[in-house]
Amino acid sequence: MLVIFFAVSNIIFNLNAQYVGIPHIAADIKAVLKHSLELKCEYTGNDGNGEFIGWYKDGVAVTTEKPGHYVVMQDATYSTLVIKIFVKSDENITVWQVKTKKNGTEEPSQCRFGQIRLKPSPQGIKTNRNNEKIESTHGSIRRSEDKLVHLKCIIDPEPIDPNEIDIQWDFSKDGHSFSNLPSGINKVDNELVIEKVKKIHNGYYRCSLNDVSFTVLLRVKGLFI
């Protein structure tokens, strides 16, 4: 009788052991290169204790990685994995999952996430000069008046068909309030072309795609006669 009671109690207990993945595991989760991303597993069981152990990628504990790349925050009711800076090697992982000590749900399927793909996003700006590429924030380029300037947004990963993307360009004098591009600038195949740069073109140029932006400062030096 005690055995039957224990078995029934265990079944009821496991039925109440409910886990919820956020985002939903069926969602097409996309990441942005060099940006952060969070995966969360919530426990909604009646006993209030999910007995979380930690997060694993392709069966390997994320704690084995160098400190700082992955951060795990958890208590009895949730466990969150924060990928601080999503890199290309993270895209190669096929399974991200949380593990628990909960009998019967040691690897809850509701918190088993599949491969996370990178979505194309701006990662820098290059110019018409050889090897001139800005890939860090607060970067700038310098030109004298009347020089030719090309600004091309570096998209990573590169889209299969570049014609399917529409990069938005904005301009700002102070780096805070952005609006339309100044006169004398042509947009050719998502690239900005300034045939003869002038002082009015001095300012910040921002390219945007998929809610991600990259900005570069163009400094224009006047001609002295």
pLDDT class of 224 with cuts at 50, 70, 90: low
Q: pTM of this prediction?
A: 0.82
Residue 33's domain spans which residues?
20-118
Paired with 99 in beta bridges are 54
pLDDT class of 56 with cuts at 50, 70, 90: very high
pLDDT class of 9 with cuts at 50, 70, 90: very low
Whether residues 135 and 71 share a domain: the answer is no
Whether residues 106 and 78 share a domain: the answer is yes
Whether residues 109 and 49 share a domain: the answer is yes
pLDDT class of 188 with cuts at 50, 70, 90: confident
Whether residues 136 and 177 share a domain: the answer is yes
Does residue 10 lie in a domain region?
no
pLDDT class of 222 with cuts at 50, 70, 90: confident
- Burial letters for 186-224: b for 16+ Cβ neighbours within 10 Å, e otherwise? eeeebbbbbeebeeebbbbbbbbbeebebbbbbebeeee
Q: Residues with Cβ < 8 Å from 24, sequence gap 6 or more?
A: none
Of 61, 56, 20, nearest in space to 40 by CA: 20
The total domain count for the chain is: 2
Whether residues 106 and 178 share a domain: the answer is no
Residue 162 pLDDT > 90: no
Residue at a domain's end among 84, 118, 152:
118
Residue 132 pLDDT > 90: yes
Whether residues 55 and 81 share a domain: the answer is yes
89 DSSP 8-state letter: H
Whether residues 91 and 145 share a domain: the answer is no
Q: How far is the C-alpha of 111 from the C-alpha of 114, rounded, in Å?
A: 10
Does residue 99 lie in a domain region?
yes
